[in-house]
Amino acid sequence: MSTQALFGQLLIGLINGSFYALLSLGLAVIFGLLNIINFAHGAQYMLGAFAAYFLLNKAGLSYWWALVVAPLVVGATGVAIERLMLQRLYKLDHLYGLLLTFGLALIFEGVFRNEFGSAGLPYSAPESLTGGLNLGFMFLPRYRAWVIGASLVICLGTWFTIERTRLGANLRAATENPTLVQAFGVNVPRMITLTYGAGVGLAALAGVFAAPIYQVSPQMGSSLIIVVFAVVVIGGMGSIMGSIVTGFGLGLIEGLTKYFYPEASNTVIFVIMAIVLMVRPQGLFGQR
Amino acid sequence: MKEPEIPQNLTSRDEIWEARYHRNSFLLMMVVLAIAPWLIYPQFVMLALCFGLFACAFNLLIGFGGLLSFGHAMFLGMSSYFAAYLAKSGLNLETVTIFSRPFTLGLHMAPLSPALAIVAAVAGTTVLGYVAGLLAIKRQGIYFAMITLALAQMVFFFCLQAPFTGGEDGIQAVPRGKLFGVWSLSDDMLMYYVVMAVFAAGVLLIYRIIHSPFGQVLKAIRENEPRAISIGYRTERYKLAAFVLSAALSGLAGATKAIAFQNASLTDVQWQMSGEVVLMTLVGGMGTVFGPVVGAFVIVAMQFYLSDLGSWVAIAQGIIFVVCVLAFRRGIVGEIEAWLRARQRP
């Protein structure tokens, strides 16, 4: 096997890693404030990809527009879901939130499978990002380089917003003690709604990134979200930076596995999860 | 480990009522099930009974231990693969390949009779349940759900790639064989009553577990785990035991299903199946003894009679999930019980 193939797999690993990072980041932000694991996250990622597809084919809006519009539209549906449904569950066991969002994921996926079948729809990358660079040791498609770079920027931007700005400080405070933060005059319910919307928007953005790489298909989210759950268990949801590092790291490990022992590439992340659970149950970056 | 003794004479009027209610419901259920195959399609009732037992086993964890497993398909599916393989081909392990290196074992066994295949499959699933349980009980609540889901996905990929499962095709044409070497199970009616007997035994066992001192401790852990710890119970052991029991009973359901329907396939290990068993339990009533059976009949009927509608079934299931969580959390049997209780105590 050649180094060309090795670098090719590492590149795919980094691409997958950026999706793991973006999705687990959204899950962590939502979990922090809502105490809910958003099972619909994969479906909302799929909605983002479909939104990009519709914007291009029905409204004639390019990829660049989709990057802005799709997260806003899908995020808005998230806001509606939080206002109409999730809000009623906060006083109950957290597991009900998981069950509700699981039901929503089934509905979204079912509706799109009904409409578009299981086959994927093609979505081509914008003109300016086609082609690639020959780096000597490997060929780097421009679009893939862009996805990795853009995901990194978005991830670090989210980290900065949460850890270094006033808004983020409010958010972290509300995660610790919502009642006290509300007493200080912060509209916590609105913050919770917008946080869910933002987390869903992040998933949709990942979906737009994914549309030109994978085909746009109804079940593109469901298998991904299970891997992302394992990523979240490995990283622990305590830290934002932890989610980012774990996401990219596990993507790379998966890529390496594809090169050295392809039979295990589907399961390597789950095996790592099992090992982490034995050695450090709270996750690599989690706090007890 | 010394167990605190539980006083024996604390049976209240409520408990007497409850015991009578459970006994009567069980007897009624058995009568209905005994005549059911003459009135409706026996294949359907048989399928619903297998899923009913599966849902009851799942309910043992969530309803009485408070642990939401989102990966129970791994026990149902793996067990049906075990049973189907053992009943069809026996065990032929000439060589085992581990990390591309062959090891010679030279193990040969003739195909097993259905009863033995089921017993062996349950034993195998119990081991799987022990390993998965050891990992999963390290975390609680939402993490527990995510871990079980991820482990089940790992088992799914294993079943997809392992040579003995037949990959996408699964294992077809599994012989039903002869029960105890005497009665041929190719007779559909006899097969039905065997499934019904397995179901009844499984449900009675679960009832016994729930109402044993072990079950009481499990409920205490569900209500308040720190308190159960401070009283002196080693709660992880109880949770692990409940997990293994639930896995073994799910395995019983899966193995019986494989023999009765003569196949094992990937649908039984998929994550959708893990979701379906949650739905059955939720619809019937979490934490009720017979609710999951009712839920299983509802969901299986939906799939059985609406199968022409294709992906609408998945959408309908999603809607039922949402409605149940938002407005109908007690489930069908839970609502009936609440009504009966209210009537009993004006």
Mean pLDDT of the region B250-272: 91
In a domain, residue B320? The reply is yes
- Whether A95 contacts chain B with CB within 8 A: yes
Q: Indicate the residue of A114, A273, A278 with minimum beta-carbon distance to B311.
A: A114
The shortest C-alpha distance from A172 to chain B (Å) reads 20
pLDDT for res B250: 96
Residue identified by tokens 């309908």 is B316
- Whether A102 contacts chain B with CB within 8 A: yes
Q: Indicate the residue of A31, A233, A263 with minimum beta-carbon distance to B150.
A: A233
Ordered by where they begin, the domains of chain A are: 3-111+142-279 (1.10.3470)
- Whether B141 contacts chain A with CB within 8 A: yes
Instruction: Select from B99, B131, B134, B322 the residue whose CB has the most chain A CBs within 10 Å, as the one to mutate to test that interface.
Output: B322
Q: Do A274 and B135 touch (CB under 8 A)?
A: yes
In a domain, residue B1? The reply is no
pLDDT for res A5: 84
- Concatenating the DSSP letter of every residue in A78-127 gives HHHHHHHTGGGGTTS-THHHHHHHHHHHHHHHHHHHHHH-SSPBP-PPPG
Residue range of the domain that includes B226:
13-344
d(CA A98, CA A101): 5
Chain A partners of B317 at a C-beta cutoff of 8 Å?
103, 106, 110
pLDDT for res B304: 82
> Domain holding B327: CATH number?
1.10.3470
Chain A partners of B70 at a C-beta cutoff of 8 Å?
98
Has residue B249 got a pLDDT over 90?
Answer: yes
d(CA B268, CA B125): 14
In a domain, residue B3? The reply is no
- Whether A31 contacts chain B with CB within 8 A: yes
pLDDT for res A147: 93
In a domain, residue B4? The reply is no
Chain A partners of B312 at a C-beta cutoff of 8 Å?
110, 114
Name which of B77-81, B108-112, B290-294 the model is least confident about. B108-112
- Whether A225 contacts chain B with CB within 8 A: no
Q: For residue A236, which phi and psi values (nearest 5 degrees)?
A: 80, 145
d(CA A141, CA A162): 32
Has residue B345 got a pLDDT over 70?
Answer: no
Number of domain units in chain B: 1
Q: What is the model's pTM?
A: 0.90
In a domain, residue B197? The reply is yes
- Whether A274 contacts chain B with CB within 8 A: yes
In a domain, residue B199? The reply is yes
- Whether A171 contacts chain B with CB within 8 A: no
pLDDT for res A278: 86
Q: Indicate the residue of B161, B324, B325 with minimum beta-carbon distance to A263.
A: B161
Has residue A247 got a pLDDT over 80?
Answer: yes
Reported as a single tens digit per residue, the pLDDT across B6-58 is 555 556 777 788 888 889 889 998 888 888 888 888 889 999 999 999 999 99
More confident residue, A263 or B68: B68
- Give me chain B's average pLDDT, please: 87
- Whether A100 contacts chain B with CB within 8 A: yes
| B79 touches B124 (CB < 8 A) | yes
In a domain, residue B33? The reply is yes
Confidence tier at A59 by pLDDT (50, 70, 90): confident
In a domain, residue B335? The reply is yes
pLDDT for res A46: 95
Q: Do A94 and B68 touch (CB under 8 A)?
A: no
More confident residue, B105 or A157: A157
Reported as a single tens digit per residue, the pLDDT across A249-285 is 999 999 999 888 888 888 898 899 889 888 888 888 8
**Which residue of B lies nearest to A231 if distances are taken between CA atoms?**
B150
**Distant-in-sequence, close-in-space partners of B74: CB < 8 Å, separation ≥ 6:** B128, B132, B151, B152, B155, B156, B269, B274
ipTM associated with this complex: 0.89
Mean pLDDT of the region A222-244: 87
Q: Do A107 and B68 touch (CB under 8 A)?
A: no
- Whether A254 contacts chain B with CB within 8 A: no
Has residue B155 got a pLDDT over 90?
Answer: yes
pLDDT for res B199: 95
